[in-house]
Amino acid sequence: MNPKRLTFTNRNGHELAAHLYLPADQKPHFFAIFAHCFTCSKNFSAVTRICTALSQNGIAALSFDFTGLGMSEGEFADSTFTGNVSDLLDAADFLTREYQSPKMLIGHSLGGAAVLYAAAEISEVEAVVTIAAPAFPAHVRHLFVDSIEEIEKSGSAKVKIGGRPFHISKSFVDDLEQKPLATFLKKLKKSLLIMHSPQDEIVEISNAAEIYSAAFHPKSFISLDGANHLVSDPKDSEYIAEVIGSWSKRYVIVNEEKQSNDTQGNQVFVRLSGEKYTTEVMTPNHHLIADEPADLGGDDLGPNPYDLLMASLGSCTAMTLKMYADRKKWPLKEVSVFLNHEKVHLSDSAHPEENTAKVSQFTRIIEIEGELDAEQRQKLLEISNKCPVHRTLQEEIIIQTMLAK
């Protein structure tokens, strides 16, 4: 189950905790690194959701805790923005040694500013994505503006950010001030995707305009209309990952040769992939997502298992009728199949005294278009009951289950 828990050592000797999100078939199109927001961690909801969705789009994503945050070693009070950038470089070195060099860097909020700096130092990186990033790293000063005087006077101060206490040092503040992006971006020869919400109240959307104006092409902007700064809505995270996946096909060079999914010698491979019930389904050549609806505790990112079962019956029905009509050279133009599933009482049960006995009933409504007479339509109705999935569902079914070795 995603993610894979890892650690790596940065240049200062601190062990940093990381999560690696891999596609279900363990064959990513490429590797990416995700940098979290200021004082956040790799376990922040937006990070986990976006990285999970990226893996579902075939992109392996590494997220990690910067020095002094989350499960990583070191003291946050001793960290700086420059230190965050060096942590990103060390993460890239780790991926290169153990897996494959990252081709994309993704950063949220202050992490978005950090990936812009780090990308210039990693030749293998071809694309950079920022999400709600400030155009000037010192923008985060507003989070502890009331303590600036104490920080300047005493060298550090204990502040509360997001309800949690942090020690902010003068060196951290001074380092932020020395990192303007405008002139630096003109030297960044990477494809750039800027994502920002017009409703962001923490980092105003004007920051996205500044980054866009300063950078050279190729550059793209996507509005995250309706999203908040922390990207707390799961649907926004899913959208971000889908856009990144589509955008990367133009700007990240991958092996053009189509590779089959690794179902480990089986016809279908299914894996839980997410915080709740989101499930990846893989056949040798295709990939889809299943999930439970929100009212059952899921994220509703795909059809539920019974929806997929009905879809199997419906698609098999439509294909079977099309094949039969083609063979007969009948003018069939379209087949639409509507399906429902319910549990009904079995009146002729083998145990009639158990009046609570129920069976599954699928209701299939077939809509046929084309210049067909009544006899042809009736024949197609009969043929629908002979589609392979229909016949399988009516057979006595044996399901063998065993634990993998």
Identify the domain boundary among 214, 229, 251.
Answer: 251
63: enclosing H helix or E strand: strand 59-64
Are 9 and 105 within one domain?
Answer: yes
State the pLDDT at residue 350.
46
Q: Which domain holds residue 384?
A: 305-394
The predicted structure's pLDDT at residue 349? 44
In angstroms and rounded to an integer, the radius of gyration of the C-alpha atoms of the chain is: 27
CB 38 within 8 A of CB 47: no
Please answer whether residues 67 and 73 qualify as being in contact, where contact means their C-beta atoms are separated by less than 8 angstroms. Answer: yes
Residue 348 within any structural domain of the chain: yes
Per DSSP, the residues of 275-305 read SSS-EEEE-SS-EEEE---GGGTS---S--H
Same domain, 314 and 246: no
SS3 state of residue 162:
coil
H helix runs in 252-387, sequence order:
305-328, 374-384
Whether residue 335 lies inside any domain: the answer is yes
Confidence (pLDDT) at 148:
67
Q: 251, 277, 297: which is the final residue of a domain?
A: 251
Question: Does some domain include residue 284?
Answer: no
| 353 phi and psi angles, rounded to 5 deg | -70, -20
Q: 19: closest CA among 46, 42, 45?
A: 42
Residues 239 and 131: beta-carbon distance below 8 Å: no
Give the CATH number, domain containing residue 336: 3.30.300.20
Supply φ then ψ for residue 145, to 5 degrees: -60, -35
- The count of domains in the chain is 2
Does residue 126 contact residue 104 with C-beta atoms inside 8 Å? yes
Length of the chain: 405
Residues 338 and 205 in one domain: no
Question: What pLDDT, on a 0 to 100 scale, did the predictor assign at position 152?
Answer: 67
Helix (H), strand (E) at residue 130: strand 127-131
Residues 236 and 312 in one domain: no
User: Does the residue 260 lie in any domain?
Assistant: no
Q: What is the pLDDT of residues 72-91, one digit of tens each?
A: 998 877 778 888 899 999 99
Domain identity same for 193 and 339: no
Q: Answer whether residue 311 is part of any domain.
A: yes
Query: Each residue of 351-394: pLDDT tens digit?
Result: 455 556 778 888 999 999 999 999 999 999 999 999 999 999 88
190, 219 contact by CB (below 8 A): no
Q: Are residues 234 and 314 in the same domain?
A: no
Identify whether residues 214 and 358 lie together within a single domain. Answer: no
> Three-state DSSP class for 240?
helix
Give dist(CA 141, CA 148) in Å, integer.
8
For 157-179, write each residue's pLDDT tens digit.
666 555 565 666 667 666 666 66
265 occurs within a structural domain: no
If asked whether residues 216 and 341 sit together in one domain, one would say no
Q: Is the distance from CB of 402 to CB of 340 less than 8 angstroms?
A: no
One domain for residues 18 and 132: yes
Q: Name, in order, each residue with C-beta under 8 angstroms of 334's C-beta and a sequence gap of 6 or more.
A: 367, 368, 369, 370
Domain at 124, CATH number = 3.40.50.1820
With a cut of 70, which residues of the chain have pLDDT below it? 1-2, 25, 138, 140-148, 150-170, 172-180, 255-262, 274, 346-356
C-alpha to C-alpha distance for 105 and 115, rounded to whole angstroms: 6
247 close to 220: Cβ distance less than 8 angstroms: yes
